[in-house]
Chain A
Amino acid sequence: MSAAMIEEAAARWLLRREGPDWSLADQAQLDAWLEASPAHKVAFWRLELGWEQADRLAALRPALAARSGARRGLSPWTAIAAGLVAAVLVGGAVVSRFTPENSRTYFTEVGGRALVPLPDGSKIELNTATQVRTLVRARVREVWLDRGEAYFEVAHDTRRPFVVHAGAKTVTVLGTKFLVRRDGARVEVAVVEGRVRVSDSHPPATATPAPALTRGEIVVSDGASTLVAEKSVERVTGELSWRQGVIYFDQATLGDAARNFNRYNRKQIVIDDPEVAAMRIGGNFEAVDVDAFLRLLQQAYGLKIRDDGNTARISA
Chain B
Amino acid sequence: MVDDPTLRAWFFREIFPLEAALTRFIRRNWRNESDVADLRQEIYARIYAAARERLPLQPKPFLFTTARNHLINTAKRGQIVSFEHVADLESSPVAVDILTPERSLTARDELRLVQAGLERLPPRCREVVTLRKIEGLSTREVAARLNVGVDTVEQQMVHGMRALVDFMLGGSGRIRRPSKPRAAKAVQS
Contacts and interface: CB of A to CB of B under 8 A. Distances in A.
B168 to A, nearest CB: 4
Contact of B9 (A4, A5, A6, A119): A119
Interface string A61-74: 10010001000000
A119 B138 contact: no
Interface in B90-122: 104-107, 110-111, 113-115, 117-118
B136 A19 contact: no
B169 A50 contact: yes
Nearest to A52: B12
Contact of B181 (A2, A8, A12, A121): A2
A295 to B, nearest CB: 28
Interface size class of A (residues with CB under 8 A): 35 or more
Interface string A199-213: 000000000000000
Nearest to B46: A38
Nearest to A60: B134
A97 B17 contact: yes
A39 interface: yes
A49 B5 contact: no
A228 interface: no
Contacts of B13: 98, 100
Nearest to B6: A120
Interface in B36-63: 37-38, 40-42, 44-45, 47-49
Given A4-B176, A12-B158, A61-B135, A42 B41 contact: yes
B148 interface: no
B161 A47 contact: yes
Contacts of B4: 41, 121
A63 to B, nearest CB: 10
Contacts of A68: 135
A59 interface: yes
A96 B166 CA distance: 19
Most buried by A among B111, B130, B136: B136
A97 B110 contact: yes
Contacts of B25: none
Given A2-B178, A15-B139, A121 B38 contact: no
Nearest to A77: B136
A81 B136 contact: yes
Contacts of B41: 3, 6-7, 39, 42-43
Contacts of A82: 136
A94 to B, nearest CB: 5
Most buried by A among B9, B48, B104, B113: B9
Contacts of A81: 136
Contact of B114 (A56, A98, A119): A56
B170 to A, nearest CB: 10
Most buried by A among B11, B45, B107, B176: B107
B136 A46 contact: no
A301 interface: no
Most buried by B among A45, A82, A100: A45
Given A3-B40, A15-B154, A51-B161, A42 B114 contact: no
A146 to B, nearest CB: 17
15 contacts: A4-B37, A4-B177, A8-B177, A45-B8, A45-B12, A50-B166, A51-B164, A51-B165, A58-B136, A59-B107, A64-B134, A81-B136, A97-B104, A98-B13, A121-B4
Interface of A: 2-8, 11-12, 14-15, 18-20, 37-39, 41-43, 45-47, 49-51, 53-61, 64, 68, 78, 81-82, 89, 93-100, 119-121, 155
Interface of B: 3-5, 8-9, 11-13, 16-17, 19, 37-38, 40-42, 44-45, 47-49, 104-107, 110-111, 113-115, 117-118, 129-130, 133-136, 138-140, 154, 157-158, 161-162, 164-166, 168-169, 175-178, 181-182
Given A15-B157, A49-B169, A51-B165, 15 more contacts: A4-B175, A12-B154, A15-B158, A37-B45, A39-B44, A46-B165, A50-B169, A53-B110, A54-B129, A54-B161, A68-B135, A81-B136, A94-B107, A97-B17, A98-B12
